[in-house]
């Protein structure tokens, strides 16, 4: 099994893909932390991506190191949680997030996780590998 958490910690900035009606949209997201098969991110309830994820929770997140090997792609469903402890952790561990939202009580500050269904990795040395999580 791929050590996806190690890969995410080494390369926390990636691209999140969502659906906006029939169109696909991508934007840069920062991985925050993981618990089990859940990987956590944050966003604002005032952003279009928040509404897109609520309408269609199927997403994919992709990240990679500077040499593009391996590339990590994680797919699953988004769930939003209103857990003050998770929000506090996100702020404590991520100065950039704290600079934007300041407090775990900020009403527009949303924590979400991807409940991982599938992981894919690709490298020239090992090719494509797919892992299903149940």
Domain boundaries of the chain, sorted by first residue: 4-132
Which H or E element spans position 70?
none
**Measured between alpha carbons, how far is residue 121 from residues 55, 76, 129 in Å?**
28, 15, 5
Residue 40 pairs in a beta bridge with 33, 113
> What CATH number does the domain located at 4-132 have?
2.30.110.10
Q: What is the pLDDT along the chain (134 residues), one digit of tens a residue?
A: 458 999 999 999 999 999 999 999 999 999 999 998 899 999 999 999 999 999 999 999 999 999 988 999 999 999 999 999 999 999 999 999 999 999 999 999 999 999 999 999 998 888 888 888 76
Residue 36's pLDDT is: 87
Helix, strand, coil abundance in the chain, percent, nearest 5: 25, 50, 30
- What is d(CA 74, CA 49) in angstroms, rounded to the nearest whole number? 18
Total Cβ atoms within 10 A of residue 17: 16
- Residue-level pLDDT at 74: 97
Give the helix ranges, DSSP H, for the chain.
4-10, 48-55, 84-93, 95-101
How far is it, in rounded angstroms, from Cα 50 to Cα 53? Answer: 5
């Amino acid at each position: 099994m791929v050590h996806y958490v190690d890969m995410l910690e080494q390369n926390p900035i990636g691209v999140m893909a969502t659906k906006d009606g029939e169109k696909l949209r991508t934007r840069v997201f920062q991985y925050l932390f993981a618990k089990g098969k859940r990987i956590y991110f944050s966003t604002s309830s005032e952003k279009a991506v928040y509404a897109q994820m609520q309408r269609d929770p199927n997403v994919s997140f992709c990240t990679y190191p500077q040499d593009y090997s391996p590339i990590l792609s994680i797919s699953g469903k988004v769930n939003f949680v209103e857990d003050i402890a998770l929000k506090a952790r996100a702020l404590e561990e991520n100065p950039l997030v704290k600079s934007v939202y300041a407090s775990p009580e900020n009403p527009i500050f949303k924590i979400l996780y991807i409940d991982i269904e599938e992981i894919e990795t690709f490298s020239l040395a090992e090719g494509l590998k797919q892992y299903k999580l149940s």
